[in-house]
Amino acid sequence: AQSVTQLGSHVSVSEGALVLLRCNYSSSVPPYLFWYVQYPNQGLQLLLKYTSAATLVKGINGFEAEFKKSETSFHLTKPSAHMSDAAEYFCAVSGTRNQFYFGTGTSLTVIP
């Protein structure tokens, strides 16, 4: 079975600082991993995905995530936070049979 755990339901960073949102997964099969972003009053948008190719995945808006099998992690990072990055971020894992599991989300606040 697959599952994801997002550490930290709320993260605050200063504008220009590093963004690090943590996601650990559990999977009995090679996973496909995803990060979604939800801006206020909007739907969910795919930020990036890992599908067993390169372990460092680059997404939109300067975000990237690194798949680390030894740590069962897929943390999301951005070198320099922007005010427009304030949103809810969801990590998700997909395994066999297309089943899809979301984490509980991390709310990112960017402090000017």
User: Residues interacting with another protein, by CB under 8 A?
Assistant: 32, 34, 36, 42-46, 49, 51, 90, 92, 94-95, 97-100, 102-105
Kindly tell me which of 56 and 97 has the beta carbon lying closer to another protein. 97
26's tokens: 């559990």
Is residue 36 exposed (0-12), middle (13-18) or buried (19+ Cβ within 10 Å)? Answer: buried
Kindly tell me which of 14 and 51 has the beta carbon lying closer to another protein. 51
Q: How far is the CB of 17 from another protein (least distance, A)?
A: 25
The whole-angstrom separation of Cα 33 and Cα 83 is 26
Q: How far is the CB of 49 from another protein (least distance, A)?
A: 5
Kindly tell me which of 85 and 89 has the beta carbon lying closer to another protein. 89
The residue among 24, 95, 108 whose CA lies nearest residue 66 is 24
